Amino acid sequence: MGTPDFSVPILRQLIEANYQVSLVVTQPDRPKGRKGVLTPPPVKTEALQHDIPVFQPIKLSESYQEILAVEPDLIITAAYGQLLPKAILDTPPLGCINVHASLLPELRGGAPIHYSILQGKKETGITIMNMAEKLDAGDILTQESIVIEHEDNVGTLHDKLSQVGAKLLLETLPKLIAGELTPIKQDDSKATFAPNITREQEKIDWNQSNLEIYNQIRGLNPWPVAFTTYEKKGMKIWAAELADEHYEQAPGEIIQVDETGFVVVCGNKKGIRITEIQPAGKRRMLVADYLRGSMDRLKKGSILGE
């Protein structure tokens, strides 16, 4: 059971390791792009390439008999997107397990990769756990940590964790089937949460420190992407670099513009160099490309976010 790209390597490696995948459960097809073309989830596309039946209930809590009908020995979920009803949790003899993209009990919820970067963590990882009725609170079977590099964004970290998740799952399954694992209860007192990102979290507050803003920009790249305003128009900020010099200007002021980007003062009086943007109504581009032909497109002394 899974939906986005994160789940695809996990399904693929299960197939390649000759585990019998009787049914793939994923979210319904959704409209995508400006034309609203109905598009299947990545996991569905992968499953159909291997002639695996696919089930796409709108509400799993109301429609799950097709899952029970295949009499699964084990159910594996990875970023599926819906809670499993108790009737499903109680069905497989080997249980229901989840591949979660954090070191539980840290960052329970639907956006653990985003929050690991937004919070400036140096490390995250994969937890494989027994599923419980309470969100991401089941007993831990195995964990593997990885370093979050300073240059990582959600996209790069997502890809790394997806690969680690697939590998760790294949290492875990033989031990689970053989009854060789001892589940470890999570310490609920140490639990933190990673709820879905809100629109307010996407807006840059230039009164924050340059490191907080740097983490926000990479923690929302490639989706949903941080934004600000320039001359009353929206501007998405895709990439940036820290500029640790001290400045006296007000937070949000553009103090330098050149071919490599533009420097904005942050709340801690240090700067951040914006290197990749998406002005309103335009495509994503390097600042250098935006300025080509007219350096006046970004004016020194302007205040962002007003």
281: left (phi over 0), alpha (psi -120 to 50) or beta: left
Report d(CA 304, CA 278) in Å as an integer.
Answer: 14
Q: Per the annotation, does 104 bind a ligand?
A: yes
102 is in an annotated binding site: yes
Residue 105 assigned ligand-binding role = yes
Integer Cα distance of 254 and 262 in angstroms: 7
Rounded Cα–Cα distance for residues 227 and 237 (Å): 5
CA 195 centroid distance within chain: 11
**Token pair in block for residue 15:** 């197939």
Instruction: Provide DSSP, 85-130.
Output: PHHHHTS-TT-EEEEESS-TTSSBSS-HHHHHHHTT-SEEEEEEEE
Q: Are 127 and 103 in contact (CB under 8 A)?
A: yes
Q: Residues within the annotated binding site?
A: 102-105
Q: Residues within the annotated binding site for (6S)-5,6,7,8-tetrahydrofolate?
A: 102-105
